Structure 1
Amino acid sequence: MATLSYFVLLYIYDALEFKWVVFKGLITLLCLMAGGYFLNDYIDLEVDKKVHPNRALPKGYISLNLVFILSSIFFTTSLILGITTSYKMALLVIVSAFLLLIYNVALRRYHIIGNIVVSFLSASVFIFASIISSKWDKSFFIILIAFLFSLSREMMKDIEDIRGDRKSGYRTLPIVKGVKFTFLLSRFVFIAGIFVIIASFFTREFSYRYILSSIFLVIIPSTIFLIFKWKPQSVSVISKYIKAEMIAFILVLFIEGLK
């Protein structure tokens, strides 16, 4: 979904061209993500032995040293590409890599801080695209909406993973504040995302295509879902629905880019 989001925002800004800088930005993003995935596997080895024993690393199919080397290679490649693109890209790569490191080492274990970091990193895909296109007029609302939807889903995922997280000694939001509190906060954040979409209608940055597609693809379905389906016993369904609406919002952005 990150690759799709990257290309769609470039498409909106009329910057989706077969130029090296466009693919360079994508490779920078993908290398950063790959470095984060391998770093996560490296740090979580002992936890995965208990919770996910069938994964490649706990099974011994690949060595811990190889995972560390691959993570280092991907992070270094991302940084080099970022530096050779622009100082803004280099700064974004450095900040993102630092957040990935402290998230995996410490922040993921504590309350909502880890959720905020992950949500920012998810929304940063649009920052990558904005830097490449050198256009920011629509980006604020898009980044904020992506952040809020992602944050809502991350909290729902924490509720889903509460048993494994408790065994691993994590102090996630549902463990510390309770499932009910986390559930209500996730709902509030999701609704906030809907209101940000509505607020974006009153700017001059978006066309009628964006407004109409947002209403029919996101706002109306989400309102119905919030009323009839957003129930405490349906956490897994809610998590999947939020992801579906994130994809729907990307479709809205694609429609906005149509000429």
Structure 2
Amino acid sequence: MKLKKKIKKLRIIRPFNCFMSAFAVSIGYLIAGGGFYSLSKLVLADLTTFLVTGAGNTINDYFDREIDKINSPYRPIPSGEISPKSAYLFSILLFSIGIILSAAINYICLLIVVINSFLLYLYASKFKSIPFFGNLAVGVIVGSTFLFGGASIGKIRTNLILFGLALLATLGREIAKDIEDIKGDQGSVNTIATEYGIENAAKLSIFFTILAISLSPLPYLLGIFGIYFLITVAIADLIFLYSSTNLLTSINIEGAKKYQKLSKIAMFFALIAFIVGSLS
């Protein structure tokens, strides 16, 4: 019974999100040209990412504990499954282990993990309530998972482009999410949508999306990937373009929701394009 309770407490790290972050690192590893010869580094990189992501989710719940009493009372801290102090110490432990493991890979990985750990902590404690900075922090963290996969084998050239594109696409999606969440955020969280209005938020979201579309052919133009990459990434670009056009004509919560769904599909095709490019 005690073991069951302890396992239940681990849901505070959001295991599915941790696995998805580790999967993104694996994609980054594959794109960078990682093979069977360096699988041990991939395993170490995936484990590091799993732990640091879990730490970020836990520290986020710690700082959101008062809001969650109203909005999400079922979460581990407000429901009483774990005390705020225990959650805080647990997150610090996970961050620390992640940093130690990253040092065992190489210094680039160590640098990425240290920066991301600080970003995750600052996002939860401060940046979330500062317009644009919270969006930027999320974009950097998402993009860096792909960078981390390449860094695990010391190859980051191609992954730097994916990092940049993921950063821009995530910025667009996160700002659109501010529009979607505007009713709940008003009076409690400062976002671009609450501070500068839905229309300005939509325009900024579209700007970053169009910028990502414009830069997406770079791997082909630089001779890194071939024509199959260009064809596949064009599918992602068309979906991004359609979602942006839809948001521009429907600047409201429903329009933002549709944009969110379409942008996730577009990002999936963009990842497929990078995988196709690295394998062809």
Q: Which residue of 2 aligns with 1:245?
A: 266
The answer (yes or no) to whether the contact 2:32–2:155 under 8 Å persists in 1 is yes
Q: Which residue of 1 aligns with 2:9?
A: none
Tell me how many residue pairs correspond in the alignment.
257
Residue of structure 1 equivalent to 2:148: 128
Residue aligned with 1:57, SS? coil
Is 1:32 the counterpart of 2:57 in the alignment? no
Tell which deviates more after alignment, 147-156 or 63-72. Answer: 63-72
Shift in Å, 1:26: 0.9
Which residue in the other structure is 1:255 paired with? 276
Partner Cα distance (1:61, 1:255) in 2: 44
Mapping for residues 1-259 of structure 1, pairs under 5 Å: 1-17=20-36, 19-168=39-188, 170-215=189-234, 217-228=235-246, 230=248, 231-233=250-252, 234-259=255-280
Once the two structures are superposed, residues 172-193 of structure 1 have per-residue CA deviations (whole angstroms, 9 ceiling, x without a partner) of: 1111111110011101111111
Separation (CA, whole Å) in 2 of partners of 1:16 and 1:154: 33
Rate the CA distance shift 1:116–1:225 in 2: closer, same or farther, 3 A. closer
Secondary structure at the counterpart of residue 53 of structure 1: coil
Structure 2: distance between partners of 1:45 and 1:224: 38
Distance 2:173 2:148 in 1: 22
Residue type at the aligned position of 1:95 = I
Q: Which has the higher contact order (CA 8 A, sep 6+)?
A: 1
Letter in 2 for 1:81: L
TM-score, structure 1 length as denominator?
0.92
User: What are the Cα deviations for residues 170-216 of structure 1, in whole angstroms up to 9, with x where unaligned?
Assistant: 2111111111100111011111110010344311111111111111x
For residues 73-125 of structure 1, what are the alpha-carbon distances to aligned partners after superposition, in whole Å with 9 as ceiling and x for unaligned? 21111011012222222121111111111111111101101110111011010
Q: Secondary structure at the match of 1:111?
A: coil
RMSD: 1.7
The CA distance in 2 between the partners of 1:127 and 1:12, in whole Å, is: 10
CA distance in 2, matches of 1:201, 1:208: 7
Note if contact 1:9-1:253 (Cα within 8 Å) is conserved in structure 2: no
Matches of 1:118 and 1:22, distance apart in 2: 23
Contact 1:36 1:100 in 2 (8 A): yes
Cα distance between partner residues in 2 of 1:111 and 1:28 = 30
**Distance across 1 between alignment mates of 2:247 and 2:176:** 14
How far apart are residue 65 of structure 1 and its match? Answer: 2.6
Kindly state the Cα deviation for residue 229 of structure 1 after the two structures are TM-superposed. 6.0
Q: Distance in 2 between matches of 1:32 and 1:77?
A: 8
1:2 deviates by 2.5
Q: CA deviation at 1:228?
A: 4.7
Partner SS state of residue 230, structure 2: helix
CA gap 1:159/1:223 in 2 versus in 1, 3 angstroms: closer
SS in 2 for 1:36: helix
CA contact (8 A) 1:31 1:77 kept: yes
Structure 2: tracts of 5 or more residues without a match:
1-19
Letter in 1 for 2:136: I
CA distance in 2, matches of 1:181, 1:229: 12
SS in 1 for 2:104: helix
CA distance 1:90–1:243, shift in 2 (3 Å): same
- Cα distance 1:70–1:204, how it changes in 2: closer, same or farther (>3 A)? same
